[in-house]
Amino acid sequence: MPKEKKQKMKKKSHKIIKIILITFALVIALVAIIGFIFFRRVNAPLRANLNASEDAVATTTAGLVKGAIDDGIYVYLGMPYAEAKERFVRAEALEPWDGVREYTEYGAISLQSSFMGMGGTDNQDNNCQNLNLWTPELNDGGKRPVMVWLHGGGFSSGSANEASTNGKNLAKEEDVVVVTVNHRLGAAGYLNLSAFDEKYKDSANVGMWDVIDALTWIQDNIEYFGGDPDNVTIFGQSGGGAKVLTLMSTPYAKGLFHKGINQSGATETVGPKLTPEEVSLRITELTLEKLGITAENIEDIQSIAFEELNNAGTEAIAQVAEEFQYESPFGGSYSYEWEPVVEGDFLPTDPVLDEGFAETGYDIPLLIGSNLNEWNFMGRSSDVSEEVVTAFKEAYPNIDEENAGSVDSMIRVPLLRTTAHKADQGGAPVYSYIFTYGAPRCTHGAEIPYIFGNVDSTSADEAMEKTMRGIWAAFARTGIPQVDGIPTWEAYTRDGGATMIIGENSELVYNHDLKLLELLEPGFDY
């Protein structure tokens, strides 16, 4: 073959390869964009446009506060529950004030990097200890159930100021008090500096200390807002669900809440269940090394730009993931993320151990579950074997078999383990669910607008909204997730495996998907 022709063919071949690579890149970008749009839809910050009302003046232990009235619901936004005067140090109680302070605008969120549309553009500050509150009445002795939302985004991103978690409709339709909580995240919440100075003794878990301070504020103040301090339910999705498990494991949260709801919050999805102390200290060592900070100049950590701190922490975590060989759940590499640290008396044990569930959560009823297609929006759908399709049809006979290629096991398996361990304790009951409505689009976080009553769509969507909102409120009210229109919901046991499939036709099933999970996660143990 002439040399010139060979060169032309070579160029043509390179061109084809280039086109293929560009096409592949565009596909990947499209998947990322779809994921981004989803998270923006679910987690987009809500901009308040409320006018303060003299009729919405309420008492707190620190002073008088003024909120707004929105469609008959009293609303307080960005209301402080504590004050963080320094980084990596537990927040302090609020100083009392004179007069009336107005809270009708969302407050600061934690310092964080933007991820999938969460965080990024909002007002960010270390002093982010504020909450949002919606209630039907003030000072009426109503003793309403209190539902405290812990946002997702792992322990690294997100906020309480999201459109999908506006608590107005949930408060109005179910006669409950709704609270959403901002708290420190990422490096600001979990960089373990305890070895350097006594004042940093809480730094490894200062983000969770913030939540405890919020729950303490609720105990001291919620009666002024028509809520019952003896009936507080914490609930959260993804990282928020993992926060629920963490709070069920620390003795410092004992008595501050009475029920927990975990939506798709597996503590062991990335790396170990939570961060071992030796791993946290290694992350700190590497972070400070990259920043040029030693024991002699440790106070420089207070003034360094957060972006610089965050970048150093991100690099340190990546290095630790490789050193400890924490495999990414999405395959192809090692990964890790900021998480609470198992250390000292704050978190003496991991929430979910191989041999059991944290003892401090013994008397806390738990509602726990996940969505059928958790990661479908990220392109995890794939061709599957006939065997998997058959097992899927046996597990979900009323759902189209096309979902077999995107059914979640990454979150379902560790949550099944958590559920079984909680049931084995023999303490307060645990109730299991799988959300299937809208499959194959019941992805990570898809249930949130239904629970908060913020769906604006078809009549079928509104019916599902009523069901989901009602289940969550019923559990908050009584500890039993029972509403009209669904079968009698039995508590989960390891042998029985009772699980409510919440979908177009809700049904109670028993250990329905074990065969399917064994195919998707060979050798899984729960």
* Dihedral in degrees, nearest 10, Cα atoms 418, 421, 426, 431: 30
The verdict on whether omega for the bond into residue 136 sits within 30 degrees of 0, i.e. cis, is no
Q: Which region, left, alpha or beta, applies to residue 292 given φ > 0 means left and ψ of -120 to 50 means alpha?
A: left
Cα(501)–Cα(486) distance, rounded to whole angstroms?
10
Question: Facing residues of 204 across strands?
Answer: none
Query: How is residue 299 written in tokens?
Result: 């106070």
Tell me which H or E stretch contains 322: helix 306-323
Q: Which residue among the candidates 157, 164, 238, 370 is catalytic per the annotation?
A: 238
Q: Which of 428, 144, 133, 415 is nearest to 259 (CA)?
A: 428
Cα(172)–Cα(71) distance, rounded to whole angstroms?
9
Q: Do 159 and 182 meet the contact criterion of CB atoms below 8 Å apart? A: yes
Cα(262)–Cα(237) distance, rounded to whole angstroms?
6
- CA 44 remoteness from chain centre: 15
Q: Do 82 and 161 meet the contact criterion of CB atoms below 8 Å apart? A: no
* Secondary structure (3-state) at 145: strand
Does 238 qualify as catalytic in the annotation? yes
At 387, the amino acid letter reads E
Query: How is residue 47 written in tokens?
Result: 């901009």
Q: Residue 116: how many CA atoms within 13 Å on its side-chain side?
A: 22
**Count of CB atoms situated within 10 Å of the CB of 180:** 27
Q: Which of 179, 281, 291 is nearest to 228 (CA)?
A: 179
Catalytic residues: 238
